[in-house]
A and B are shown apart, each in its own frame.
Chain A
Amino acid sequence: MVLLAKIALGFGATVVLAGAYTFREGLIRVDVDETRGQGHHVHVWAPAAIVPMAMHFVPRAQMLRAGEQSAKFMPLVHAVAKELQKYPEAELVEVHDGSQYVRVRTHNGNLLIDAEEPGQTVHVSCPLATIDDVSRELAAFAPAS
């Protein structure tokens, strides 16, 4: 009985610590709500910590292909993500155009993009550190120029 309690305690503590670490790294959120047509709703919440880890399990051929396709703009993405980390709270772009609205900002070290138009809203949130990590990983697979 005592042994079972110990195992449960160890497991519980591990889960708590893993959860704490995961949420400390932040979340990637993609929310797409469509109220027109068939009204698709897409909600993806994923711990940002798993993305760089998961990239290590992607087949090398696929990574090379992704690196090649993104080679042109990945240095720019990397530079923007790296620099934006210095500005964890900033309003970058806000556009109102009648019923359409786009807002790009940073909050708590996350890049937040909100886009709204009649019948559709899109909200994306991603930790800047994750974008930086991913762009760096992809750049490593880009063909040497």
Chain B
Amino acid sequence: MTHRTRNLFPVLAFLAATFLFAPLGTEAQTSSAQSSTSARGERWLHVRVISTNSKGEAVRVNVPLELAEKVLPAIDHDRLHNGKVRVGCMDCDGVDVRTIFEAVRSSKDGEFVTVQSNDADISVMKKEGMLFVHVHDKNKPKHSQVEVKVPMKVVEALLSGSKDELDIVAGLHALAGQGDVELVSVKDDENTIRVWLDSKNVTTD
């Protein structure tokens, strides 16, 4: 071995170490330049609960829909099996939920239920492929508002399982095909709750 080649050993060792360390450096740079909008068109389900009490409680949950779709079938607990949840009242007090939904689905857009009382105003309507439920509770000191907006395709997918079952995975799959949408909004004197869908992997309040 010549003197020159012998001198190359430390250089080669250093280069090899640098090569192995390189991915760490790249990851760090990538993470610092990361955008809040996911690059692969991922869909994220966000849940935010903000309490207005003095303790300032807050819960923020961000779940990739694809992850939920893959993980749910792995859960086998209580009423949840294979991504489907068993519900005991799909035929509540003689009211067949499936038949009602089928009737709503095949009917034209419109307001199906309107209840106005001293306690609460309730309305259920269908508009442009969305099912809207609005509840205005007048009993609380600061009137509470509940808005639920569910794409009809999602409801259809949820009910696509066998009788007395909600197919959660199918519902999530249908939800993934929707655009950005606020699904649930609850505002009362104690809490503000929001459930929404978008392409961002962080909660932007």
Contacts from A to B (Cβ < 8 Å): 9, 12-13, 16-17, 19-21, 23-24, 75-76, 78-80, 82-84, 86-98, 107-109
Contact = CB atoms under 8 A, between A and B. Distances in A.
Given A20-B17, A20-B20, A95-B60, 18 more contacts: A13-B13, A76-B71, A78-B74, A79-B70, A80-B67, A86-B64, A90-B201, A91-B202, A92-B62, A93-B59, A93-B62, A94-B59, A94-B60, A94-B61, A94-B203, A97-B57, A98-B55, A108-B31
A83 B17 contact: no
A87 B200 CA distance: 12
B201 A87 contact: yes
B56 interface: yes
Interface string B33-68: 010000000100000000000011111111110110
Given A9-B9, A79-B74, A90 B62 contact: yes
A95 B59 contact: yes
A91 B46 CA distance: 11
Contacts of B89: none
Contacts, number: 97
Contacts of A76: 71, 74-75
29 contacts: A9-B13, A13-B9, A13-B10, A13-B12, A13-B13, A16-B17, A17-B13, A17-B16, A20-B21, A23-B21, A76-B71, A79-B70, A82-B70, A83-B66, A88-B31, A89-B31, A90-B64, A91-B60, A91-B201, A91-B203, A93-B59, A93-B60, A95-B58, A95-B59, A96-B56, A96-B59, A97-B57, A98-B55, A108-B28
Contacts of B42: 87
A7 to B, nearest CB: 12
A109 B27 contact: yes
A86 to B, nearest CB: 8
A27 B96 CA distance: 55
Contact of A87 (B14, B60, B67): B67
Contacts of B62: 90-93
A56 B53 CA distance: 52
B201 A98 contact: no
B23 interface: yes
